[in-house]
Amino acid sequence: MTSRPTDIRRRLIEPIKPCLVWFRIDLRLQDNPAVHAALARGGAVVPVYVADDAAEGRWAPGGASRWWLHQSLRALDGSLRERGSRLIVARGDAGAVLAALLKQTGADAIYWNRRYEPALVTRDAGLERAWVAAGFDAKSFNGALLNEPDTIANKQGRPFQVFSPYWRHCLTLPVAEPVQIPAGKMPVPSAWPNSLALDALELLPRIPWDAEFFGAWTPGEAGAVERLRRFTGRAMAAYSDQRNIPGVHGTSMLSPHLHFGEVSPRQILAEVRAVSGDSRVVPPSTGAAVFLSEVGWREFAHHLLVHFNHTPEKPLRADFARFPWRSDPTGGLLGAWQQGRTGYPIVDAGMRQLWRTGWMHNRVRMVAASFLVKHLRLPWNAGAAWFWDTLVDADLASNTLGWQWTAGCGADAAPYFRVFAPVLQGQRFDPAGDYVRQWVPELARLPAAHLHAPWEAPPAVLEAAGVRLGETYPRPIVDHATARAEALAAFASIRGGGVSER
């Protein structure tokens, strides 16, 4: 049946209805597929953020993440206002809030970028089915990863569980160029729906433990782009040599920007290739290639989370469910670790950096995490929960992968019997003690030869440095050799094996 001319004319002159863009942790405008698709429709765009902690359950943003989220939402709203638009902020059940906004604005479309946390995958799928059934143009996009996790499989058609072959496979796949939205004003609705003030979400701390965050970070899309360009222009060439040295600025520190979607992995890939002088490949031995492999680890973490969605709560390797973790009834051991009072300077420096800036150098993260699960033999879940609350880059996929890797109970994991010796790690990666002196100032006057094992320093050296063990700085809460032997015995109780030291 053909349309009558009057029907065709009506469709041509009727305005295109608005489209809601549901922002989540994709807090940028450039290379944002949902924003790009909404603008391509030609109608008004209504940007929306809904705080729905209940849907995220236990994995609602922790304290440090909430601080970052507040700053990033404020930056996004500022970017939208520069284009004549604004961010609508709401709180409550996302499905109900968005249904009300669809009705209030007269929108007939809603676009968003996908998330991969198990609870949200289930929730979002249900919302999409309901919206489509109700006649809305409801579409989701990949705005967070180079490759969708469910499109990657090994030769047997199963998920990868080892990183190296996973990443080699990913490097053979095409990646689309970042999409750019044009400069100028964004089309806006004739009337804006009601919005909460950002402060109403109560994301900021009530006591000022975040004082040093402001000097360390610039959340938002502009801050992310600036940090990326600064890294690729200054530190990337030496990344493979300097990334393990916590006392220098040798890493990108892009992880929180990536988590909150202020920069996309496609933008990172394009920038790295442009700086490297080759738009298609990066030589495998360069700092650029090593850096891109870290982006690959983030991709791998999401691959694992999607295919093994029980891992935020339970070990991937089932035999570790029987592991004999130590009892810590008063929480004294865990508390000492959390506060950076273990008596091992490299561990304490990392934990204090974490508390004061919301971030910890990756090499030190491995050492500190290993100390919790190997030296103190406390459950990896306890460490994951603390990192979740204190890291500005707390990401469920990466946090789970990192802790299960350290504990030896995940995919491609470090063997449990491989123990990071904190003194050796400090001496190797912080030989002059620059990192420890910055974050553990009570040891700053110790000579480098004794800085990473102050309990071995002669009394005269300690006195000259103003260090009184057990008073100004704690003695080690566990003996390394004893803890190592106990870790070996615990591991042998479930699987058997030997122990090595790094």
Q: Cα(290)–Cα(102) distance, rounded to whole angstroms?
A: 45
What the block records as the tokens of 292 is 């891109």
Q: In whole angstroms, what is the distance from residue 360 CA to residue 351 CA? A: 7
Residue 215 and residue 356 in contact, taking contact as beta carbons nearer than 8 Å = no
Out of 297, 309, 442, 455, the active site residue is 297
Contacts of residue 112, defined as CB under 8 A and 6 or more positions apart, other chains included, come to 21, 22, 23, 24, 34, 124, 139, 140, 141
Under a CB-based contact definition with an 8 Å cutoff, are residues 472 and 442 in contact?
Answer: yes
- What is the DSSP annotation of 303-357? HHHHHSTTTTTS-SSGGGGG--PPP-TT-HHHHHHHHT-SS-HHHHHHHHHHHHH
Instruction: Find the helix or strand (DSSP H, E) in which 496 lies.
Output: none
Exactly one of 212, 325, 442, 455 is catalytic; which is it?
325
Convert 450-472 to b/e letters by CB count within 10 Å (16 or more is b). bbbbbbebeeebbeebebeeeee
- Of the candidates 148, 212, 294, 442, the residue annotated as catalytic is 294
Q: Catalytic residue, from 59, 131, 355, 380: name it.
A: 380
The reply to whether 131 belongs to the active site is no
Exactly one of 142, 147, 309, 362 is catalytic; name it.
362
Nearest to 475 by CA among 450, 444, 454: 454
Is 180 in contact with 31 (CB distance < 8 Å)? yes
Nearest to 85 by CA among 19, 142, 169: 19
3-state secondary structure of 138: strand
Pairing of strands 109-113, 19-23: parallel
Q: At 34, is the secondary structure helix, strand, or coil?
A: helix
Residue 68 designated active-site: no
Enumerate helices (H) and strands (E) in the chain, giving the number of each. 23, 7
> For residue 424, what are the contacts with CB-CB under 8 A and spacing of at least 6?
501, 502
Q: What is the rounded end-to-end Cα distance, in angstroms, of the chain?
A: 75
For residue 69, what are its two tokens? 């989220």
Q: Is 262 helix (H, G, I), strand (E, B) or coil?
A: coil
Catalytic site includes residue 362: yes
Tokens 């402060």 sit on residue:
199
Catalytic residue among 388, 403, 405, 439: 403
Q: Which positions are catalytic?
A: 294, 297, 325, 362, 380, 403
